[in-house]
Each structure stands twice: as C-alpha cells, then as structure tokens.
Amino acid sequence: MKFEIKNCGSWVFFLIVFSALLLPNVYGLAVGVSPSKYTIEDALKGESYQKSMRFSTTSDENIIVDLVAYGDYKDWVKFYDIDDLSKEITQLSINANGKEFAMIVFNIPKDTPNGEYEIQVAGNKAFEEVDNDVKTGSGVELKTFAKVKIYVTGNQKLESEVRSISTRDVETGYPLRIKVDMENNGNVKSNPKIDVEIFKDGAVIDSVTKSDSYVDVGQIEIIDVEWDTSGRGVGEFSAKVKVTLEGKLIGEKLVDFNILNSGNSELEGSLGKVYDPDDVEIGKVAKISVDFKNRGNVDFTAKLTGEVMINGKLEDVIGGDEIVIGPSERENLAVYFTPLKAGNYEIKREIVYSGKKFQMDDFKFELDENGMRNTSSSGSSKLPLIIIGVVLVILVILGVRYL
C-alpha cells in the first residue's frame, strides 16, 4: 500500500512552525551543571574533597530537581546545602530561568586502590542511568552533567597559601576582626595557626591566637580572628599577624586600624534578594532567608526576626543567628519556622542591626486542612503539550519522507 499526503508541502511547513513553538516545552526542564569538568589530583584514601557546583535552568517556571550521581563510584558522592554544610540534601529548588548552588563532597574510601576514577554529577529528574551514561528515557543523550575525575595516589601534600591579611576600623566595644584569606592547594585539610600581637604607641598591649580553623582541599576560606576592643580606649593601633602551618611560617603582615568612639560611625544596611520558601507544609521546617549588605564604614551585627500570625493572632516569635557583616560585605540572614496547623499565615519580618530595624514585606500564605499550601499548579498542563509536540515531530518526519 502506498502512503500519500495531499498538499504535503504546506502541511509540513505548518507542522514545523507549530512544533518549533512547542519544542521548548519538551526540552525546557534540562538543568545545566557548572563546571562541566572537574579534576581532583593526588587524592588520598580516606579523605574527603568538596566542590561547589552551580545548577541552572532555562525553564519558565520554578522547578525542583533531584541531585544525583552516576557511575560505579556514585556512592562516593554526597550533596550539601551551600549555606549549611552540615545539612545533606537530595534536591534543589530553582527559580524560573535561575540558578542555585550546592556543595558536592567526594568521600574516598580507605581501601581504594591507586588509580583514575570517574563520576558523573547531574541535577534533573528526567535523567536515568543507561550503561553508566546519563541519558533521557527516550535515549537521547543530554550534555547537562559534570564529569569528575579523581586520581588516587596516596601521596600526602600539605600546601597552603595566605592570599591576604586585612582588617578595618571598629567602634569601641565591638570586636576587631582580622581577616586571613587562605587557599589550600594541597590534598589534605590544612589547620593553620594564627598569632596576633596588638600594638599601641609601639608597645605590645595584648595578643590572641586562633588555631581551630580548617581549610578543605581546593577551597578558599577567610578565617576571622577577633580581638575584644572593650576598655582599650580609642585612637590608632596596629596588629602584627603571623600564620604558620605545622610550624612553618607561610604568611606575615603588620596592619593598622583605628578604634572609634561609639556613635561616630555611619551605619547603613540595604536589602538584597529575598528567598521565600515554595514548599510550605504542616509539620515541615521552612526556611526564609535574605541577603543583607553593609553600606556603612564599620562592622555591624544583623539578624532576621519575625512574628508568625495565624488568622490574625500571634502564634510564635522567631529569630535567626546574629551575623557580623563588614563594610561593603553581603551576608545571608536566615530564620526557620514550622507550621503546626491550617490557616491563613502572615509572617511579619524585620532585620535588626546595631540597634536599627529594617522593615520587610510580610510573607503570606494559606495552609489547607491537608497540611498543604494552597497554590495553583501550571506545570500539569505542559504534559499534553509535550505529547502533542512529539506526535507532530513524528508527523513532520513522515511527511518529509513521503514528499
């Protein structure tokens, strides 16, 4: 039997144009991973190595993706909250056309033989493992995963670099913060010792030592050494900073600073991005966080607080940790709460910093009797469009074949 399509050229043109409009819905859930390639050299058996990775999407809707690893050594991999490295995660919520970060930790077993190992890291529910590769269910390979190569050698390398040592003026009564910017270029965690001598008018008036900080392999960390300025008076001071690693001097610098009278400094903060939770449920811990920037000229402390109102009545008062923010620095302030019953919620939020208050917009939502947030889902309508798009693509192929 001969298959024939009348006026096929016009139909094919129409189907191509129509399918092109739908194809973004078919492939719109792909999640990019950056960097796409990462190598760990001279890895030690029994050690852990971490790397922050960015997951981004071109979807026009907020999505939740699974964080997954593939390959024979996928059990070496764990994912952690980039803001709380003690919190293991398996998913990321990514805003439409947005990006989010996760910390990837590679744990090398103690009995691992020397050699080269490869792991693939991805962030998309559509992926499945086929012959140790990452493919979609349709068998079309997507280049949206990171290839990680790990070379296990067993040779210990202790090597760290002091990138900078700095401090800023401070108001009397606030702790002076000396920042030591360190990079670990070795293959084991480094545990530097930082000794600080404080000078006034050329004489040593005090000293402080910090030796409880660690820098992970391949990471850059800023270690804060604090000195209490209470009762030290005001004026010009100096700090002599020495950094040693297992007894070897790796950095040294003399930095000057001023202790200022209280109230003489400019204190100004500004609100950045606000991260409201999308998945709020009864009995489940929810997190609200904001970026807050210090636009003043001295350090100040800041924290996020809130009042939880349900159906117009005060139910709880919540508050996050107090964080020190330096001039021109931006920090993420977070607060946690757990909804316990259905109702209309209104969380009145503000940022408290150095005696000042920054009022924020209220966060409002409703929880039904099933414990779920009342929201309308627009994603469910995409599946029929995807199916239609696939069918039309097949028709286009058949049409072109029988032209």
pLDDT in tens, 34-71: 999 999 988 888 889 999 999 988 888 888 888 999 99
Q: How far apart are CA 264 and CA 344, in angstroms?
A: 44
| Contacts with 178 (C-beta within 8 Å, 6 or more apart), sequence order | 165, 166, 167, 194, 196, 224, 225, 226, 227, 239, 241, 255
**pLDDT on residue 299:** 81
Q: Is the pLDDT of residue 249 over 90?
A: yes
Q: How far apart are CA 225 and CA 89, in angstroms?
A: 31
User: 369 or 350: whose pLDDT is higher?
Assistant: 350
**What mean pLDDT is reported for the chain?**
81
Helices (H), strands (E): how many in the chain? 2, 30
Host H or E run for residue 55: strand 48-57
Strands 176-184 and 220-227: antiparallel
**pLDDT on residue 378:** 36
Cα torsion angle, 112, 118, 122, 127, sign: negative
Q: pLDDT digits over 376-392, tens only?
A: 333 334 445 455 555 55
Q: Is the pLDDT of residue 211 over 60?
A: yes
Report which DSSP code applies to 112: P
Q: What burial letters (b/e) apply to 317-350, b meaning 16+ CB within 10 Å?
A: ebebeebbbbbeeebbbbbebebeebbebbbbbe
**pLDDT on residue 213:** 93
Q: How far apart are CA 360 and CA 273, in angstroms?
A: 12
**pLDDT on residue 165:** 96
CB 335 within 8 A of CB 288: yes
Choose the weakest-confidence range: 181-190, 325-334, 368-377: 368-377
Q: Is the pLDDT of residue 33 over 80?
A: yes
Alpha-carbon radius of gyration of the chain: 28
**pLDDT on residue 391:** 55
Other Cβ atoms closer than 10 A to 2? 4
Name the amino acid, one letter, at 389: G
**pLDDT on residue 83:** 83
- Residue 278 has φ and ψ, to the nearest 5°, of -90, -35
Q: Is the pLDDT of residue 362 over 80?
A: yes
| Contacts with 301 (C-beta within 8 Å, 6 or more apart), sequence order | 322, 323, 324, 325, 353, 354
Cα torsion angle, 343, 348, 351, 354, sign: negative
CB 378 within 8 A of CB 289: no
- Residue 149 has φ and ψ, to the nearest 5°, of -110, 130
pTM (two decimals): 0.55
Percent share of the chain, pLDDT over 70: 78
pLDDT band (50, 70, 90) for residue 15: very low
**pLDDT on residue 389:** 56
Choose the weakest-confidence range: 5-9, 60-64, 96-100, 277-281: 5-9
Domains and CATH numbers, the chain: 31-152 (2.60.40.10), 160-260 (2.60.40.10), 269-367 (2.60.40.10)
Cα torsion angle, 171, 172, 175, 178, sign: positive
Please spell the DSSP secondary structure of 199-263, one letter per residue.
EETTEEEEEEEE----B-TT-EEEEEEEE--TTS-SEEEEEEEEEEETTEEEEEEEEEEEEEPTT
Q: Is the pLDDT of residue 132 over 50?
A: no
Q: How far apart are CA 228 and CA 211, in angstroms?
A: 17
**pLDDT on residue 381:** 40
The pLDDT of 257-275, averaged and rounded, is 83
**pLDDT on residue 84:** 83
Kindly provide the residue ranges of all beta strands, DSSP E only, lying in 58-114, ordered along the sequence: 63-66, 68-70, 77-81, 84-88, 91-94, 99-107
